[in-house]
Structure 1
């Protein structure tokens, strides 16, 4: 393995990690994304005032669907049988929206990427739904908030 990176073999070539001998455990990950926008844009999104319809419902569904497609989007991710995906969206002050996505499985590899893809896709969907009124929106703070399960143990962002 080159430099301890699991997705590289001893020759430094990309490969999918063999998880066949890993223990089956309950795994959970929470990721987030934030949208920063004009106060009027945040109000329109949160109050359902966009011409395209209920942006929050569409973004939740988009995030869930994206989590299920993560291995199709990220080349070296394993397809994972997800047991739960949820996307929560709330105002974060007058000029931001916080998106938090949770992914869970009972399996041999973690669900961090599924949670990150869900949060990112929900944020992109909100951008798409509201871009007609505010093209200056910014998507920020995409990160893993916490994870549990698996050989590497738990992680929590301080």
Structure 2
């Protein structure tokens, strides 16, 4: 079994020392799903809902990118990264769920999985916040890593 990377020899939490690693291209793709009650899903027109707070998905995209950029401020042992790119796409699937995909890229000594996961999660939370006046039955049902490349090994879930 692998050793946890954020635990030192004395079993204390620690930041991973990446100073010896060589910078390389790294990418990550995370996805979050948001389920809506039928009465909320019915309000989506042209792929978005206009609310008093503004367009839901457009606002969630901005919030998700902001969240990804600030991941190191939220997750204690994440290294601060200057992202080379963060792109968030949101669409409704055939079940009228919001599918939020966050793609992050960096050329660094550490990966961007946490940034992609944070971006997708913050976007999902923003969708919830902007739609909660319509229903509190909205559910964020899944946030997961879809793929990552670069570093020790690549990962693809699909």
TM-score normalised per structure 1: 0.93
**Is the Cα–Cα contact under 8 Å of residues 48 and 57 in structure 2 kept in the other structure?**
no
Q: CA deviation at 1:94?
A: 3.9
Distance 1:135 1:129, change over 3 A: same
1:128 alignment counterpart: 129
1:100 alignment counterpart: 101
Q: CA deviation at 1:8?
A: 0.5
3-state SS of 2:118 partner: helix
Matched, 1:61 2:62: yes
Matched, 1:116 2:145: no
**Is the Cα–Cα contact under 8 Å of residues 26 and 107 in structure 1 kept in the other structure?**
yes
TM-score normalised per structure 2: 0.93
Using the alignment, how far apart are the partners of 1:40 and 1:93 within structure 2?
16
1:74 alignment counterpart: 75
Using the alignment, how far apart are the partners of 1:102 and 1:53 within structure 2?
24
What are the residue-to-residue correspondences of 1:1-158 with 2, within 5 Å? 4-45=3-44, 46-151=47-152, 153-158=153-158
Segments of 5+ residues of structure 2 without an aligned counterpart are none
3-state SS of 2:117 partner: helix
Using the alignment, how far apart are the partners of 2:84 and 2:48 within structure 1?
31
- RMSD between superposed Cα atoms in Å: 1.3
Q: CA deviation at 1:12?
A: 0.3
**Which structure: greater helix fraction?**
1
**Is the Cα–Cα contact under 8 Å of residues 120 and 142 in structure 1 kept in the other structure?**
yes
3-state SS of 2:143 partner: strand
Q: What is the aligned length?
A: 155
Using the alignment, how far apart are the partners of 1:35 and 1:85 within structure 2?
20
Segments of 5+ residues of structure 1 without an aligned counterpart are none
**Is the Cα–Cα contact under 8 Å of residues 146 and 156 in structure 2 kept in the other structure?**
yes
